Amino acid sequence: MNNYTAKQLAETLQHEDPQMNLRTVRYYTQIGIIPPLELVGNKRVYTDNHLHYFRAILTLSKSGETLAHIQEKLQNRPMEEIIKIGEKLPLYQSEQMLQHETYVVNEDVIISISARISPEMKTKMIDTVSQLLKGDPS
């Protein structure tokens, strides 16, 4: 497992999200949205697990979640789930995604729809998916 300083972690994350910076890393650490730092020798360090948490936080914040809700959502989750959430970060960064509108149907389903689709069709698509998720076949 790799160890990182706050600066190294911020630099790594900036490659994935240019808005991530050292100040944000320190803030998230301070408010306890990530697990406590590891003690290596006499220094506190970030690890790969912290990197996964930051990726998950970035993903959830880009999907419109508040920091308070993100903290609640990530609390007591297994690391495998944290990693899966973080792996979705590229979906929120592609040029294609920037050109689409995103609709959150529920916490498990997010729809990305091209701006070229008519408002009526968008509404129909979202309503249809919502009905399917409720088990309503109509």
pLDDT digits 0-9 by tens, 74-133: 998 999 999 999 988 877 766 555 567 778 888 788 888 887 888 899 889 988 998 888
Pinpoint the alpha helices (H) of the chain.
6-14, 22-31, 48-62, 67-74, 79-86, 95-98, 119-134
* DSSP bridge partners of 109: 106
Residue matched to tokens 């948490």: 53
Query: With respect to CATH, is domain 1-93 assigned 1.10.1660.10?
Result: yes
pLDDT at residue 1, as a whole number: 84
Q: d(Cα 8, Cα 42) in Å, to the nearest integer?
A: 18
pLDDT tier at 137, thresholds 50, 70, 90 = low
pLDDT at 138 over 90: no
What are the structural domain ranges in the chain? 1-93, 94-138
